[in-house]
Amino acid sequence: MSHLPLTPASIATLVHEFYDEVRADTVLQPVFDAAIGDNWTPHLQRMVDFWCTVMLGKRAFQGNVFGKHMLLNGVTPEHFIRWLTLFEASSTRLFNPTDANEFKTVARRIAASLQYGFFGEVKVASPKEAT
């Protein structure tokens, strides 16, 4: 398979394919359903904006990622394992190794920050380290 160029359209593809997998995942789906319910369209657009800001410098996203996530209940280390596993697989499948690695680096930083908030320490640095 040829990899996608790093564009807003390819980032939208990543976001939509990744969250399709999240919504089908037995571990992640309940947490996301509780937080988002049927209101996926605005969430997906915010995630596209977020990743375009991070990866392309578009400055489309404004928000408090940490604060929003700290409002979630019932988050466990297993959720981080699943989230990172799915996200890293989607990134690897869609993008060349350099771009995929940048997505993974950012995702791991986000996961580490959120884990400090939830657990006071990083319990899952990457899916490979958790297995």
DSSP letters for 36-81: HTT-HHHHHHHHHHHHHHHHH------S-HHHHHHT-SS--HHHHH
H/E segment holding residue 97: helix 97-119
- What's the average model confidence in pLDDT over 96-111? 95
Residue 48 neighbours by CB under 8 Å, 6+ apart? 8, 11, 12, 15, 60
Angle between helices 29-36 and 8-24 (to 10 degrees): 110
The confidence score (pLDDT) of residue 108 equals 95
Provide the percentage of residues in the chain whose pLDDT is more than 90.
65
Provide the percentage of residues in the chain whose pLDDT is more than 70.
87
pTM for this structure? Answer: 0.88
CA-CA distance, 16 to 12, in Å (whole number)?
Answer: 6
| Residues pairing with 4 in the sheet | 95
Q: Is the pLDDT of residue 129 over 60?
A: no
Looking at domain 8-130, which of 3.50.30.30, 1.10.490.10, 3.40.1740.10, 1.10.645.10 is its CATH number?
Answer: 1.10.490.10
Q: Is the pLDDT of residue 124 over 50?
A: yes
Query: Could you tell me how many residues make up the chain?
Result: 131
Q: Between 118 and 15, name the one with better pLDDT.
A: 15
